[in-house]
Structure formats: structure tokens, C-alpha cells
Amino acid sequence: MSWLDARAAERVRAGLRRELRARAPETGLIDLASNDYLGLSRHPEVAEGAVEAVRKWGTGSTGSRLVTGTTTEHEELEAELAEFVGARSGLVFASGYAANLGVVTALSGRGALVVSDAGSHASLVDACRLSRARVEIAPHGDVEAVDRLLAGRAEQRALVVTDSVFSADGDLAPLVELHRVVRARGAVLIVDEAHGLGVRGAGGRGLVHEMGLAGQPDVVITATLSKALAAQGGVVLADERVRAHLIDAARTFIFDTGLAPAAVGAARAALRLLRREPEMATRVLTRAAEIARIAAVPRPDSAVVSVVLGQARRAYAAAQTCRTRGLSVGCFRPPSVPEGTSRLRLTARADLTDAEMDTIATVLAEVLAQNRYPEEETL
């Protein structure tokens, strides 16, 4: 295994070595790194939702969904999520990653074509690799390229997969245009709403709903429960026929232990809060716009504010400096982003206070003044 040492040394030289940092219950840092977009991960009602579910169902789901791992709590969450986003049905998975793997592989397979946006999340990339279908990668946001690939296919079945909100840049997929092409070419559009749910659309119902595509039979939504809904798990929201097929054919559903009751209870409580306070979704975007102004980058379309610094070592140093000055920020380096585009990834939260925003302004102004300048080093 000596090759591992050589590989680790290469990563250190390139500024790409990762490390785990266990956080304390109270860090004293302002959080601009997590995906807790609505600030609900510590909300008392969400915590109580988790505790109540544990008291009722126990700590684990005890088995796969097809054996003992389905509770009435799971089915109620599925119905509530489907109704919220305007879908006909839902199916909860143990994670958002598992939901993407499950739906793409179950709806494709040999004799199918999968067209994926070049910026799709790693879970969709891995789903394509496991699908056994012919996979084509379309340039990011290029609807004409998608159309050409679908028009020239020999396969009867075809999927187009994309994020709704892309996790690194925070930009939006051209869903209306993609759906128009998908409908014309007899394909299916799979949209990962991981970063759209709770942020985009009326009351946080997601970009698919915002674009008027909710409930369309050729649109399948996936989402995670671990971001705006402050829990854990994933869900596929689609036509009832899709749900039935996934129960029969999605390996990450059939062979995985069901989502733990605590996560189900927490997600249901978070969804109730979002229904009661739909303005939370608007507050996220307002704070994101303020952070973008502070960082002198374009106004974002989501909760993600991307500040490209270029070299991996520079982005890492900037993130560490932010941390020493009271800000926890994301640091995205290859392979999460292309070479030469390492960045600070700042995520807004609905519950950021004015005092916290003042601190953010002070710290970011200092850190970015030190680290934002043209690239001179060899990457």
C-alpha cells in the first residue's frame, strides 16, 4: 500500500489534502459553510419531532423498507412532501445520494440513453456510471446539445438528468427549455432539487414548482432532506407508476435499511415549519444577495454564493483565515470544481442576524482583499 503515501504527498503539494474536523456543539463561529439553509437544524420543534419519533418507533428502522423499515411516519412524510412540491407521489430513501442512484439506474439500464449536464452532482455522475445505459455528457446548461443528443439516439428510452440549483456555483438549470426538449423527444427529465427545496419557488417548493413543471408525468424530482429540512434522507417525487417501479427495481431502496425514525420525524417537523413560515425561503435569498454584495460577486439565484479565488492553496488559506476570525466557510477544490477555480463557497441561512451580517462584512472584506488577485502560480 505504499502508493497511498505517494498519493497523499501529491495532494499535500497541490493543496488538495482533506481533513476531518470534528465540531463541538457550540463552535462560536458564524456558519456560512453548512447547507442548513433555513437554520432549522437546532430549532426546538424540529428536535422535538425527532425525539417524538424515536419515542414512538425506536432508534432504528430495524430493516429495509420492504421488510420492517416502513412505518406510517415514512408514508406520511412521503405524502406531505409530494403534496408540497406538487407531485403525485413520493418515495423516501436513506439518503439523497441513494435516491439519485436508485431512480437513475431503475429508469435506465441497457438499451437506454442518459444525458447528464456536465455540472451534475457526484451522485448523478455515479448513477450514470452504474446505469449500464449509454451516457452522454452535455456542456453545462446547453439545451441545444441536449436536444441534438436526444434527436440522434437509437435508443427508445432516454433520461436527461440535472441539478435544479448547481451546488458549486449556485446557478439554475434551464428547466423550462430542457422540459420542452424532453417532451418533444419522448424522454424523461430527472431534476435534483437538493439545493432548490426550501429556497426557490413559492414558500420554498422548489425550482420545478416555480417553473410550472410540477406534476408533469415526464418530470421526476429528487431531493435530500438534509439541507433546508435539517434532517437526513432522500426522496423521489414523481408519478405513481414511477414510485411503484422503484419499489420493485431500485436497488438502493430494496437493499438498504430504511431511513431512521428520528430523521423522518425531524423532516416532517421542518416541513410543517416551512409551511407555517413560507417567508423563510425569501429570507435565505435576501441574505445570499447581501453576502454576494459584500464579497463583490454577482447576485446569486440561490443560497449559494461562490467566490472563485483560483489556486487550491489560496482558497484553503483564505478559508482558514476566515475561521480564525469567526467565520466557518466552505472551501471547494478539485475534484469538486475544475482546476483553477478553487473557491470559497458561502451559504446563506434564513436565521442570520444583522449583527452576524456586520461581522461577515468585516471579515470577508479583510480576507478577500488579501487573497483575491490574478493567478501567477502554476496550478
pLDDT in tens, 369-379: 988 655 544 33
Predicted confidence at residue 374, as pLDDT, reads 53
For residue 16, the model assigns a pLDDT of 85
- CA-closest candidate to residue 163, choices 115, 97, 113, 117: 117
As a whole number of angstroms, the distance between CA 189 and CA 211 comes to 14
Distance CA 103, CA 252 (A): 9
Residue 14: predicted pLDDT = 84
pTM of the model: 0.93
Q: What was the pLDDT predicted at 373?
A: 56
Residue 252 pLDDT greater than 60, yes or no: yes
Give the CA angle between residues 301, 303, 304 to the nearest 5°. Answer: 85
For the segment 102-114, what is each residue's pLDDT rounded down to a tens digit? 999 999 999 999 9
Strands across the sheet containing 112-117: 89-93, 234-238, 219-224, 188-192, 157-163, 112-117, 134-138
Helix axes 175-185, 143-151, angle to 10 degrees: 10
Is pLDDT of 173 > 70? yes
Q: Which residue is listed with cell 504527498?
A: 9
Closest by alpha carbon to 257, among 63, 118, 58? 63
